[in-house]
């Protein structure tokens, strides 16, 4: 979302700057000068936040932030980064922390049929998992039906 909004803002500034330049071509207008200054300063203002978003995205897929320097390789580097940025996050946790989407931290919907691998050892474990499911429901990741279904499956194992 961060990148999407910034691209939209930069495109809007470009067109506004272009239109103001065409309307008042012989005489520079005050609004045109302000738009030009904003057009050139805005990318500088979002440089560090953009870098942080890119490094966070690389961490989500399990790669070091230093891999961002691959983008310095002409043509190929940008394509590699684009492909990596489009990949889904790693399930569960990696060395940079938990998955920001919450996947892999609780029992998933496609559980194996082998009861030995899905057996929950004690009641506190079930309560912890239900609390995690409730947090996922509150954050909007799980719907009410998904939450009820998972909760029912966990309580059946008691």
Tell me the C-alpha distance between 94 and 89, whole Å: 10
DSSP states of the chain as a string?
A: -HHHHHHHHHHHHHHHHHHHHHHTSSS--HHHHHHHHHHHHHHHHTHHHHHHHHHHHHHHTT--GGGGGGGGSTTHHHHHHHHHHHSPPPSSEETTEE-TT-TTSS--SS--S-HHHH----HHHHHHHHHHHHHHHHTTSS-HHHHHHHHHHHHHT-
Per-residue pLDDT at 42: 92
Q: What is the mean pLDDT of the chain?
A: 79
pLDDT one-digit tens code per residue, 125-149: 777 888 888 888 888 787 888 888 8
Tell me the C-alpha distance between 14 and 45, whole Å: 16
pLDDT one-digit tens code per residue, 16-42: 888 877 666 666 677 778 888 888 899
Percent of the chain with pLDDT over 90: 19
pTM recorded for the entire structure: 0.54
Q: Where are the domains of the chain?
A: 2-90, 106-156
């Amino acid at each position: 979302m961060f990148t999407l909004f910034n691209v939209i803002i930069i495109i809007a500034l470009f067109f506004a700057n272009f239109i103001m330049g065409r309307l008042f071509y012989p005489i520079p207008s005050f609004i045109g000068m302000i738009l030009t200054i904003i057009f050139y300063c805005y990318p500088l203002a979002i440089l560090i936040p953009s870098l942080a978003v890119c490094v966070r995205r690389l961490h989500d897929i399990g790669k070091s932030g230093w891999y961002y320097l691959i983008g310095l390789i002409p043509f190929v580097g940008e394509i590699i980064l684009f492909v990596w940025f489009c990949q889904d996050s790693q399930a569960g946790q990696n060395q940079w922390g938990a998955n920001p989407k919450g996947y892999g931290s609780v029992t998933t919907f496609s559980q194996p049929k082998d009861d030995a691998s899905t057996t929950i050892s004690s009641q506190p474990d079930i309560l912890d998992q239900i609390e995690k499911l409730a947090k996922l429901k509150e954050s909007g990741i799980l719907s009410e039906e998904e939450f009820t279904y998972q909760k029912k499956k966990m309580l059946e194992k008691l």
